[in-house]
Amino acid sequence: MEPPSEPNPPNCPATPPSRWLFSSLPTDIVLSILARISTSYYPTVSLVSKSFRSLILSDALDMERSCLGTRKQCVYVCLQSPTYPFDRRWFCLWIKPYDHEPLTHWKIDVKVTGHWLLPMPTSYSRRLQIFHETIGSEIYEIGGQDTPSSSTDVWVYNKLTGKRKAPSMMVARKNALTCALDGNLYVMGGCEPDVSTHWAEVFYPKTQTWEPLPDPGVELRYSLVKNLQAKQGKIYVRSNKKNFVYLTKESRWEVDEDYLGESMCEIENVCYRYGDKKLWWYDTKREEWRLVEGLSGVHAKYKTHTEIGNCGGKLVVFWDYETSRITATKEIWCAMISLEKSHHGEVWGNIEWLDAVLIAPRSYTFSRCVDSLQ
């Protein structure tokens, strides 16, 4: 007769439980869970595994967040090395995301209020460098973004039909800028500056055809184009030299003498710009730029390199500040400004917080500020 087996210790199961893995769930359930998580955690989640990174960067997750209504407006800043054009670093404005200092090789050890510009992992930030434009229910992606070579490829994403390839651009481009206006897709730059006949082109989704825009001239083609802004039948092109405007109805270019802004954004159908070390808004009734009131105490802090953006309906301002010409680093500062229109038709700004959010290499400059739903 075999001896009786010893009883299991108290509170100990007879057999070890099988290990439950999150990744073993069906993909649609995982997407539903990830769509309910704040995008602040996405860069970290994307480092867990290749499968997680694939889901985080997938269009299916974008669609799921859109259906659930969990998308929120995020602000990203791109810093670029003037020596190496392809050395771009993307950062996301995170407002008090942690109770401790994040792990990063970029210094953020400045006395801040808890708001930081945090670097995006390469696998995650790559998505930010691909320019998307939404026209109707479709999302257009221009090829040649952050790749070794130029490309004429254009891809279209549709929730019902999935992904398909659209007619190719007339010129191969790399890191071109895009904007959508009146249901059409405009693409500029990203090619050799001597390409005068196709430096800019427009795509008509209704006819599925591309057409070149008129030559903007040598001055614009040989400039560093930083931003496109479509507004009321016009496309404003901001460069490091001058600001130009393309009149879509008249099919012609002109220098925008009245537009003095270095950076521009739109909040609740109102255009804002930074120029002459001040913040302005465009009054459509008076057809003139007017000063944002209540910010006289902070205007003096803005330096030459300044970018503005839309952060959930509030105006966010970034600028660099060199504490010393001896050091190899500089501080990146940020101000969050809420906006309110008075009964007299003025726009007033209220500074909710202002502080340094990053210490960056002194040689890096602002490339662009992007606000998008994520």
Dump pLDDT digits (tens) for 137-156.
Answer: 788 888 766 556 788 999 88
Is residue 21 very low, low, confident or very high in pLDDT (cuts 50, 70, 90)? low
123 and 48, same structural domain? no
Residue type, 123: S
Mean predicted confidence (pLDDT) in 288-300: 80
| Backbone φ and ψ of 128, nearest 5° | -70, -25
96 and 43, same structural domain? no
Is residue 94 very low, low, confident or very high in pLDDT (cuts 50, 70, 90)? confident
Tell me if 300 sits within 8 A of 288, measured CB to CB: no
355 and 296, same structural domain? yes
Tell me if 92 sits within 8 A of 73, measured CB to CB: no
CA–CA distance from 347 to each of 159, 270, 271, 292, 298 (Å)?
A: 39, 10, 12, 5, 16
pLDDT reading at 10 higher than 60: no
132 and 268, same structural domain? yes
Domain termination residue (choose one: 6, 38, 71): 71
Name the percent of the chain lying above pLDDT 70: 76
46 and 93, same structural domain? no
Mean predicted confidence (pLDDT) in 298-305: 62
pLDDT of residue 303: 59
Tens digit of each residue's pLDDT (9 = 90 or more) over 22-64: 667 888 888 888 888 877 677 777 777 778 777 877 777 877 8
Q: In whole angstroms, give the CA distance from residue 235 to residue 251.
A: 11
pLDDT reading at 127 higher than 80: no
| Neighbouring C-beta atoms of residue 245, cutoff 10 Å | 19
Task: Look at 31 and 304; give whichever has higher pLDDT.
Answer: 31
- Residue 8 domain-assigned (yes or no): no
pLDDT of residue 176: 84
191 and 90, same structural domain? yes
pLDDT reading at 20 higher than 70: no
30 and 111, same structural domain? no
Euclidean distance between the first and the last CA atom of the chain, given in angstroms as a whole number:
68
pLDDT of residue 349: 93
Name residue, tokens 């869970």.
Answer: 33
Look at residues 295, 216, 320, 227 and name the one whose alpha carbon lies nearest to residue 266: 227
Is residue 108 very low, low, confident or very high in pLDDT (cuts 50, 70, 90)? very low
Average pLDDT, the chain: 77
Domain of residue 61, residue span? 22-71
Tens digit of each residue's pLDDT (9 = 90 or more) over 157-177: 776 777 889 999 999 988 788
Half-sphere exposure of residue 236, counting CA atoms within 13 Å on the CB side? 22
159 and 32, same structural domain? no
114 and 124, same structural domain? yes
81 and 56, same structural domain? no
88 and 61, same structural domain? no
- Residue 2 domain-assigned (yes or no): no
Number of domains in the chain: 2
In Å, how far from its chain's centre is CA 258?
26
pLDDT reading at 9 higher than 70: no
pLDDT reading at 273 higher than 80: yes
| Pair of tokens at residue 353 | 């917080």
Inter-axis angle of helices 59-68 and 27-34, nearest 10? 60
Tell me if 42 sits within 8 A of 128, measured CB to CB: no
- Residue 13 domain-assigned (yes or no): no
pLDDT of residue 373: 64
Residue 328 sits in a domain whose CATH number is 2.120.10
66 and 147, same structural domain? no
Task: Look at 336 and 116; give whichever has higher pLDDT.
Answer: 336
pLDDT of residue 103: 35
Whole-model pTM over 0.75: no
